Structure 1
């Protein structure tokens, strides 16, 4: 029997379309009214209970009771509200600590649905009996999530697998909830500051698109394989294999992962795993997703990341993913460098390019506010930087200046803050900049694409003046990254300087060396002292020779393998 009477899965809309959903809901107005009354009843009783606690002076006594009540309400309202609760569980800046602890349970402590129904869904989707599909399958699920639940099983060929089965009657109720959320957002938007209300319905649309994609397990399987392809050269990242013969829209069969949740610090310590290494793997993987591939995991909560006994990190649940354009990746990289260098004019320009400010915004009045708020968040040292602090401080600007959060960046910010929170659970002293800035500096210095090389030039030149100190800082910080090798970077730089594309940089460097009618030998000496241990004369000769050969053959500059060049004998 469906928990949502008179709604059948066949009536659901397969892809998110706000107009189509509106038409569907207008045809089923009585269902919309019924659902709206149910939601209003649950939240109305909760608000009344909070108000009674306040009147009776029992807020502190009943706070944990109310937190449990909120979690139970979201659970009873179903998948859409559970997903909202999961998102809020990663936002300590928005939610009280007592509520936060309860909402965290929505990530992996949800009630399962009946296994008989789950097995019928498997047989319907895969057109075979469960016994024909699996040699053995557990009678009860090992985990229940917002959209489905997971069974441990063995294929007839012997492989141990996880079988993910979608909750019944999912699409119709999600459709109604998203319609009501969008309607509520449109009503609420005029009462909010312009910058906060502007994209409220767009954020609901973004959430709706991702939720509909997450409901389609074939889409999730494709995402998992794309993610695995991106990380095929990374021995520290594990992605489970998809078994396509046992997968369809509402059933997903994938390799079983044995590991420990990243929040289970006791088991991680008992397994003698290096917590700082796990942090580095997770943060670097997150940065590669955003700045290298542009294809990122938008739901990295603790239930989706596991530490494996061999020290690797496993990603699971690829339903909620997103893709960034090349321009966005480059701009994010340069904005991190502008922030670290406290170049608030450059940062404001990045905000315009990323959509946080409209192109017609007068940025000069905003610069002092950026300097005050972000300078406060940064503190006196780069090491004090963290995304959570930046997010908290930046939110203050939203009320006084025309900032807005583009819908896509709501997912990015959530992803970054969540990953940082996971890292902090492993090491409370963790500073994300110690991993992220060396990576960003290395990405810019190696300049694997023309666009990234142009970003490097933008960073190194300010108002036509070469920023010697920035180059020194970037090289020094990039060397903190164990994967950074100066020799290939030097070869790429020489190849670029000798190419047609490097004509502008050749001219600017000559001007920089003779700026203010003097030779800048002091700056050059400082740079040489910084890199001389990594660049021996014989190695430099090899690098120059390779670059000249590349130029004479008119080849396109490409990165060489990250191994040190042999010494000339």
Structure 2
């Protein structure tokens, strides 16, 4: 077997290699041609039916029929297209309700493959008969998804488990579709009315890398364990245990989760659970993934998320994950605050740091454009903010200015928009900023790392002046989170002020208190009014003692910051 063929073989366990896949199919153009023709035929028939409905004035009466037809079309075209349908199923603001209800079925109501094949895969991978491996296993799958299907079982030690089995010949099917998609975007990119910046094939490659990781169940098991460690201190998140003795590349045995799909609102309400609490848990855990741990779930559709009877959020699929750098996490956090504060100069600087603009880009003409487009997207109140509006408005800027979407950010954007779409499905009046901004404010105010503290200083100082109103807003908004405790923040702040690292900030704070030739007692009084109920004298004394003890042995965490930004 050639190296190229091994890449697309169902037996291969190597990662995504687009060059090897391209070489393989360059010698088999007929396979590419017939698959492409098949895809075009399916979509051509569907588009013709839509047009026929329009010609015959039957659009309204046939819309349910067409919704079912689209779901069946995506199902017939296989895993790659099912993934597209799953992504669309979380966007109630994009997809008509009739289509949405059908596409939701793609999350875990797909046709299974035959049990005999599934059990042969289990036996081949785990080197034993099914009866020897499991005390009980369901005769039929309890769920079928795009990449595999799930059986309910019981181990001989008594634990209830879910047994995931990969679909046969999955890698060759996905490889061919990715090759076709890569060819398609290469042909279409020059014709698209949007300036993406980077080559669109890089985004396809990023998707391909993650898809190949997703079909490696051993990789998924490791991801689950890493995710569990990250959320070990969070009583609202449940992560299933992995049973490695009964797992391999194509089989994954994990703890059975008792719960309700997030879209099954009737069962959730019947169990006495609060929908809005679950939304908040989901959004906050998503923010923690992006901004705290940097290890995030890139495919958080409802089929992967469950509400447990005790009110926790359970994640059950860890195939598509990604990791962010510390600098990226911190810059994302500060850019959200810059956007809410409408500081478009600082936001443009953050776009450069994140890679949306190259370092040599002249940002001066971009700043007023950001203010016009993003200002309209935010609206009169931050409560009108949503990421879908931002991404829609941002496309206008990408056409006019040299913005690009770094390949890694395609997954981040997908993750955020999917979470927002899920929240909107559960509560159409949900505003993501009501959860996200308090979390981001709290994250910056607690400033666990020197880098994060510098981000906070960047936000609080503008043109050399202290932004009192911004600090007031951040504290007030952070306090809207019932889990926010001001005392640890006060302790961190006092420790920082007394440290060598905080010397520069002490100087700037003294200047801020007396700038413009006046004492800023009014601003200080307003701040005290916000915090006085939480900062009782006895508690403040304890905080001061703790800070003094810590500073006596604290190592300088970072060098003195550079001169303050604009």
Residues 276-315 of structure 1: pairs in structure 2 closer than 5 A:
276-315=276-315
Alpha-carbon distance between aligned partners in 2 of 1:519 and 1:488, rounded to the nearest angstrom? 28
Alpha-carbon distance between aligned partners in 2 of 1:321 and 1:92, rounded to the nearest angstrom? 24
Shift, 1:65, TM fit: 2.7
Q: Secondary structure at the match of 2:135?
A: strand
Q: Secondary structure at the match of 2:150?
A: strand
Structure 1, 23-32 or 198-207: larger mean CA deviation: 23-32
Residues 441-520 of structure 1: pairs in structure 2 closer than 5 A:
441-520=441-520
Alpha-carbon distance between aligned partners in 2 of 1:99 and 1:403, rounded to the nearest angstrom? 33
Q: Secondary structure at the match of 1:388?
A: helix
Partner of 2:215: 215
Structure 1, 24-33 or 433-442: larger mean CA deviation: 24-33
Residues 535-550 of structure 1: pairs in structure 2 closer than 5 A:
535-550=535-550
Alpha-carbon distance between aligned partners in 2 of 1:434 and 1:554, rounded to the nearest angstrom? 36
1:245 matches 2:281: no
Q: TM-score, normalised by structure 2?
A: 0.93
**Is contact 2:92-2:421 (8 Å) kept?**
no
Alpha-carbon distance between aligned partners in 2 of 1:92 and 1:24, rounded to the nearest angstrom? 40
Alpha-carbon distance between aligned partners in 2 of 1:508 and 1:85, rounded to the nearest angstrom? 53
Give the 3 Å change call, closer, same or farther, for CA 287–12 of structure 1 in structure 2. Answer: same
Alpha-carbon distance between aligned partners in 2 of 1:408 and 1:99, rounded to the nearest angstrom? 29
Structure 1, 362-371 or 122-131: larger mean CA deviation: 362-371
Partner of 2:324: 324
Alpha-carbon distance between aligned partners in 2 of 1:422 and 1:90, rounded to the nearest angstrom? 5
Alpha-carbon distance between aligned partners in 2 of 1:290 and 1:47, rounded to the nearest angstrom? 38
Residues 43-122 of structure 1: pairs in structure 2 closer than 5 A:
43-92=43-92, 95-122=95-122
Q: Provide the aligned length of Structure 1 versus Structure 2.
A: 552
Q: Deviations over 1:192-239 (max 9, x none)?
A: 246236331111111101100000000000000000010001111100
Partner of 2:272: 272
Alpha-carbon distance between aligned partners in 1 of 2:404 and 2:422, rounded to the nearest angstrom? 26
Q: Deviations over 1:123-145 (max 9, x none)?
A: 00001000000111111100000
1:149 matches 2:153: no
Partner of 2:396: 396
**Is contact 2:13-2:216 (8 Å) kept?**
no
Shift, 1:190, TM fit: 1.1
Q: Deviations over 1:17-68 (max 9, x none)?
A: 1111111212333322222222222223333333444444444443333332
Shift, 1:240, TM fit: 0.6
Partner of 1:140: 140
**Is contact 2:501-2:557 (8 Å) kept?**
no
Structure 1, 343-352 or 161-170: larger mean CA deviation: 343-352
Give the 3 Å change call, closer, same or farther, for CA 194–283 of structure 1 in structure 2. Answer: closer
Structure 1, 346-355 or 55-64: larger mean CA deviation: 55-64
Alpha-carbon distance between aligned partners in 1 of 2:525 and 2:46, rounded to the nearest angstrom? 68
Alpha-carbon distance between aligned partners in 2 of 1:201 and 1:171, rounded to the nearest angstrom? 19
Shift, 1:252, TM fit: 0.5
Alpha-carbon distance between aligned partners in 1 of 2:192 and 2:359, rounded to the nearest angstrom? 22
Structure 1, 314-323 or 379-388: larger mean CA deviation: 379-388
Give the 3 Å change call, closer, same or farther, for CA 404–90 of structure 1 in structure 2. Answer: farther
Partner of 1:349: 349
Give the 3 Å change call, closer, same or farther, for CA 426–11 of structure 1 in structure 2. Answer: closer
- Aligned-CA RMSD value: 2.1
Q: Deviations over 1:50-100 (max 9, x none)?
A: 344444444444333333222212111111111122123334565455433
Alpha-carbon distance between aligned partners in 2 of 1:364 and 1:66, rounded to the nearest angstrom? 48
Alpha-carbon distance between aligned partners in 2 of 1:90 and 1:155, rounded to the nearest angstrom? 35
Q: Deviations over 1:309-342 (max 9, x none)?
A: 1111111110011111111110110011111111
1:410 matches 2:410: yes
Alpha-carbon distance between aligned partners in 2 of 1:163 and 1:477, rounded to the nearest angstrom? 44
Partner of 2:563: none
1:15 matches 2:28: no
Partner of 1:530: 530
Q: Secondary structure at the match of 2:482?
A: coil
Give the 3 Å change call, closer, same or farther, for CA 180–395 of structure 1 in structure 2. Answer: same
Partner of 1:563: none
Shift, 1:415, TM fit: 1.4
* Unaligned runs of at least 5 residues, structure 1: 1-6, 559-569
Q: Deviations over 1:284-321 (max 9, x none)?
A: 11110010000011111111111111111111110011
Alpha-carbon distance between aligned partners in 2 of 1:30 and 1:369, rounded to the nearest angstrom? 48
Structure 1, 169-178 or 8-17: larger mean CA deviation: 8-17
**Is contact 2:161-2:254 (8 Å) kept?**
yes
**Is contact 2:217-2:248 (8 Å) kept?**
yes
Alpha-carbon distance between aligned partners in 2 of 1:364 and 1:510, rounded to the nearest angstrom? 32
**Is contact 1:247-1:253 (8 Å) kept?**
yes
Alpha-carbon distance between aligned partners in 1 of 2:425 and 2:41, rounded to the nearest angstrom? 36
Shift, 1:424, TM fit: 2.6
Residues 133-212 of structure 1: pairs in structure 2 closer than 5 A:
133-193=133-193, 195-196=195-196, 198-212=198-212
Partner of 1:228: 228
Q: Secondary structure at the match of 2:350?
A: helix
**Is contact 1:189-1:197 (8 Å) kept?**
no
Q: Secondary structure at the match of 1:49?
A: helix
